[in-house]
A and B are shown apart, each in its own frame.
Chain A
Amino acid sequence: MPNMNPKKMPMPEQAPDVRNKNFEEVTLGYTPEMAIEEAQRCLNCKNKPCITGCPVQVKIPEFIALVAEGKFLEAAAKIKETSALPAVCGRVCPQETQCEMKCVRGIKGEPVAIGRLERFVADYAREHGEEKPVKPASNGHKCAIVGAGPAGLTCAGDLARMGYEVTVFEALHTAGGVLMYGIPEFRLPKAIVQKEIDTLKDLGVEFVLNFVVGRSETIDELFADGYEAIFVGSGAGLPSFLGVPGENANGVYSANEYLTRINLMKAYKEGSDTPIFHAHKVAVVGGGNVAMDAARCAKRMGAEEVYIVYRRSEKELPARLEEIHHAKEEGIIFKFLTAPLEVLSDENYNVTGMKCQQMELGEPDESGRRRPVPVPGSEFTLDLDCVIAAIGTSPNPLIRHTTPGLETNRKGCIIADDEHGITSKDGVFAGGDAVTGAATVILAMGAGKRAAAAMDEYIKNKQ
């Protein structure tokens, strides 16, 4: 008999005024009892629309049925058949626009908490002696992956399971990409990401860190080293700045720098070798998940006032609903319909404020969203000592500049077909933010997965 409660089982979380002073995970996850009860809300419907909403097609009703029976390890194995990083996706996917948006229970009430159940299962398996995967027998073919972010990790995992000898080349000293340097500890504990990466190592994936493809070696040199197919998952790591006067003053960060110092270099820890500016009044410019992460980090670093400065209205905020909600609870102040005009600084070049302008929404632009237009005479100044630019990133030019024959578009994104990740250069596949520009973790994973299948076909056809 299914559980007909119209609401999701709530997930326990740290109280807002406690958690905004620490970097520990905000949400605490289901207990086994909660998971079983929530799992019983799934109707196991015939056409399974939830699966079509998942970029990596996790067998959702099947794993949830196993959870309802208390077979948690079996449920974990079921998810792992199609997803390389369930503990990550269960936490950071925007389920409200993916699997859960398609859930039949969402028509009259709240959808089944698929993300929370996925997370529970992955955490349970990690903590209760999940069996180590065994490296499959080698098929004798070598593949290279450029970039150890979600796209590259997924592609590597799938190729390794097919028997390929896979090497992942990563420029930073830690694998994981944005999962390690971008998304903060309080949303995605780094130990969990590391565990998922270790699972790939058990599958035989080799990681070469501190290796900048384009500088240490080029794509063509990797082919010369014997790699038969190469997947480029180098992301979109090049930050955009505000383009207003004063943006190079001391105290103006890109969100990438601010988050890298905190997450990757652990500058939030007392006595860290990597310094960070401890600001009192911070404005984060932007409205995406990165802006929410930067604002919530700034609060946890001790800032008294943290503003989100966004040029459209609340309705257009691109960040996940859950994270906007968390940010508000933690005391982040939202300044909607506000655009920066100038960063102000003192004679020592330190930030003292930001001149802003009020906006109103005009006609829709090419993206279909109503374009913000300045309200004349509405300028005002925010007193600040730190400004964080979270207005987007684009692909790093290094690979396109050093790879002849690899076509990119006007925005510097690699041109690759969506279905297979095939690029203009023979044997080179690409996916994730390097192709789409900044998007989501799960879309990058989906692209990595499809490219792995296409690389397998490409190598088999060559023989």
Chain B
Amino acid sequence: MYQILKKQTLNANTKLMVIDAPHVARKAEPGQFIILRVSEDGERIPLTIADYNRETGAVTIIFQEVGATTMALGALNEGDCLHDFVGPLGKASEFDGMKKVAVVGGGLGCAIAYPQAKKLHEMGCEVDLIAGFRNKDIIILEDEMKAASTNLYIMTDDGSNGHKGFVTDKLKELIDAGNQYDAVIAIGPMIMMKFVSEVTRPYGIKTIVSMNTIMVDGTGMCGGCRLTVGGETKFACVDGPDFDGHLVDFDSAMRRGAMYKAQEKQAVERREDHCNLFKMEVK
């Protein structure tokens, strides 16, 4: 069992948890992920490792409550335990020789972009961090991102923080202003990563994306997470999750991501029914 050491609410439906998992903390590197099960009958879901502490054996995860399992996870408190927590999984990100990069995070993706930026920043790399959110109320990790970057640009879709526009607008602006990036690292919803890759393609800037596909085991034994990269079938859990954004077939990856949409909705409804029944019993 893996105890929740700390729980923090970052915005209305985004939470941070620090989990006691020494085996994971010992080997974790930026870009890697874990798979967890909340309870005995639960499903396995992948979440990126947002931070780790090798001395204390603690691993930080940040998640958005988007469905039945993340809602169940969000309902747990400090001191509660997760049934299963396995990792680190996937390949660590490769940053060798990078001097100046743009890290682009979209929404919850910022939680994943943050450790990448932090590692690059610690390596002495110049980091422009572009973080995008729908509005100012859901901005997360602002201080942390500021500390992990040379320049931080927080964009909101509606301009509610004063900087209106998408991350792609800011990225194009920075490139056109003459910034020479060794690489652009984009992490967020697939549609965002697709458009970031389209922005950089004409400039020939190396673009690394972190693919968030459906996973079951996360160790390479099922191929549920497979996607097409440069015309070849790859498994995101072992060959990735980082891939060259200019080679990924985003359209098919997005359609595969929607495969269980109806069942995911039913699971949320089941959970809500269950919660309502529970409320009635309490009365």
A residues bordering B, Cβ < 8 Å? 171-173, 209-212, 215-217, 237-239, 241, 247-248, 250-251, 253-254, 256-257, 260-261, 265-266, 271-275, 277, 348-349, 396-398
Compute how far the CA of A397 lies from the CA of B221 in the bound complex, rounded to whole angstroms. Answer: 11
Instruction: For chain B, residues 18 to 62, give those with C-beta under 8 angstroms from any C-beta of chain A.
Output: 23-24, 26-27, 37, 41-44
B221 touches A238 (CB 8 A): yes
Q: A260-B216, A348-B255 are in contact. List 8 more A-B contacts (CB 8 A).
A: A210-B86, A211-B23, A216-B26, A250-B255, A257-B216, A273-B267, A274-B44, A349-B252
A239 touches B221 (CB 8 A): yes
A266 touches B41 (CB 8 A): yes
A274 and B43 in contact, given A238-B221, A241-B223 (Cβ under 8 angstroms):
yes
B residues bordering A, Cβ < 8 Å? 23-24, 26-27, 37, 41-44, 68-69, 83-89, 216-217, 219-224, 226-228, 233, 238, 252, 255-256, 258-260, 263-264, 267, 270
Compute how far the CA of A396 lies from the CA of B237 in the bound complex, rounded to whole angstroms. Answer: 12
Partner of B222, one of A210, A217, A257: A257
B41 touches A273 (CB 8 A): yes
- Using CB atoms, name the residue of chain A closest to B38: A273
Contacts of A274 in B (CB 8 A): 43-44, 216
Contacts of B223 in A (CB 8 A): 239, 241, 254, 256-257
A260 and B88 in contact, given A248-B233, A265-B44 (Cβ under 8 angstroms):
no
Q: Which of B27, B43, B223, B259 has the most CB of A within 10 A?
A: B223
- Using CB atoms, name the residue of chain A closest to B89: A215
Contacts of A171 in B (CB 8 A): 86, 217, 219
A144 to chain B, nearest CB (A): 14
B86 touches A237 (CB 8 A): no
B184 to chain A, nearest CB (A): 26
Q: Which of B83, B222, B224 has the most CB of A within 10 A?
A: B222
Partner of A216, one of B24, B216, B228: B24
Contacts of A265 in B (CB 8 A): 43-44, 216
- Using CB atoms, name the residue of chain A closest to B42: A273
Compute how far the CA of A216 lies from the CA of B32 in the bound complex, rounded to whole angstroms. Answer: 12
Compute how far the CA of A18 lies from the CA of B52 in the bound complex, rounded to whole angstroms. Answer: 52
Contacts of B83 in A (CB 8 A): 173
A24 to chain B, nearest CB (A): 19
Partner of A275, one of B226, B256, B258, B263: B263
B220 touches A216 (CB 8 A): no
A173 and B86 in contact, given A241-B233, A260-B216 (Cβ under 8 angstroms):
yes
Q: List 8 A-B contacts (CB under 8 A).
A: A171-B86, A217-B23, A217-B27, A248-B233, A248-B252, A257-B222, A275-B43, A275-B267
Contacts of A396 in B (CB 8 A): 219-221, 238
Contacts of B226 in A (CB 8 A): 241, 248
Contacts of B44 in A (CB 8 A): 173, 265, 274
A273 and B43 in contact, given A238-B221, A348-B255, A349-B256 (Cβ under 8 angstroms):
yes
Contacts of B228 in A (CB 8 A): 248
Partner of A273, one of B68, B84, B224, B259: B68
Question: Majority SS of interface residues in chain A?
Answer: loop
B256 touches A260 (CB 8 A): no
A179 to chain B, nearest CB (A): 14
Partner of A254, one of B41, B222, B263: B222
B157 to chain A, nearest CB (A): 27
- Using CB atoms, name the residue of chain B closest to A210: B86
A398 touches B263 (CB 8 A): no
Partner of B216, one of A250, A251, A261: A261
A268 to chain B, nearest CB (A): 13
A252 to chain B, nearest CB (A): 9
Contacts of B260 in A (CB 8 A): 275, 277
Compute how far the CA of A83 lies from the CA of B247 in the bound complex, rounded to whole angstroms. Answer: 51
B101 to chain A, nearest CB (A): 26
B85 to chain A, nearest CB (A): 6
Compute how far the CA of A204 lies from the CA of B83 in the bound complex, rounded to whole angstroms. Answer: 23
Compute how far the CA of A171 lies from the CA of B219 in the bound complex, rounded to whole angstroms. Answer: 8
- A-B CB proximity, top 6 nearest: A257-B222, A237-B221, A210-B86, A275-B263, A349-B255, A273-B43
Compute how far the CA of A247 lies from the CA of B252 in the bound complex, rounded to whole angstroms. Answer: 11
Q: Which of B44, B233, B258 has the most CB of A within 10 A?
A: B44
- Using CB atoms, name the residue of chain A closest to B226: A248
B221 touches A212 (CB 8 A): no
- Using CB atoms, name the residue of chain B closest to A172: B217
- Using CB atoms, name the residue of chain B closest to A277: B259
Q: Which of A172, A210, A216 has the most CB of B within 10 A?
A: A210
A398 touches B84 (CB 8 A): no
Compute how far the CA of A247 lies from the CA of B220 in the bound complex, rounded to whole angstroms. Answer: 17
Compute how far the CA of A310 lies from the CA of B183 in the bound complex, rounded to whole angstroms. Answer: 47
A237 touches B220 (CB 8 A): yes
B251 to chain A, nearest CB (A): 9
A243 to chain B, nearest CB (A): 9
B243 to chain A, nearest CB (A): 14
B27 to chain A, nearest CB (A): 6
Contacts of B255 in A (CB 8 A): 250, 348-349
Contacts of A215 in B (CB 8 A): 27, 87-89
Compute how far the CA of A241 lies from the CA of B222 in the bound complex, rounded to whole angstroms. Answer: 10
Contacts of B264 in A (CB 8 A): 275
B256 touches A398 (CB 8 A): no
Compute how far the CA of A275 lies from the CA of B42 in the bound complex, rounded to whole angstroms. Answer: 11
A256 touches B222 (CB 8 A): yes
Compute how far the CA of A349 lies from the CA of B217 in the bound complex, rounded to whole angstroms. Answer: 24
B276 to chain A, nearest CB (A): 16
B259 touches A250 (CB 8 A): yes
- Using CB atoms, name the residue of chain A closest to B235: A238
- Using CB atoms, name the residue of chain A closest to B91: A215
A183 to chain B, nearest CB (A): 15
- Using CB atoms, name the residue of chain A closest to B24: A216
A212 touches B219 (CB 8 A): yes
Compute how far the CA of A217 lies from the CA of B88 in the bound complex, rounded to whole angstroms. Answer: 10
Contacts of A266 in B (CB 8 A): 41
Contacts of A250 in B (CB 8 A): 255-256, 258-259
- Using CB atoms, name the residue of chain A closest to B88: A215
B63 to chain A, nearest CB (A): 16
Compute how far the CA of A238 lies from the CA of B235 in the bound complex, rounded to whole angstroms. Answer: 10
B267 touches A212 (CB 8 A): no
Contacts of B23 in A (CB 8 A): 210-211, 216-217
Q: Which of A254, A260, A275, A397 has the most CB of B within 10 A?
A: A275
Compute how far the CA of A211 lies from the CA of B238 in the bound complex, rounded to whole angstroms. Answer: 15
Compute how far the CA of A396 lies from the CA of B252 in the bound complex, rounded to whole angstroms. Answer: 25
Compute how far the CA of A396 lies from the CA of B224 in the bound complex, rounded to whole angstroms. Answer: 15
Contacts of A256 in B (CB 8 A): 221-223
A210 and B43 in contact, given A260-B222, A275-B260, A349-B255 (Cβ under 8 angstroms):
no
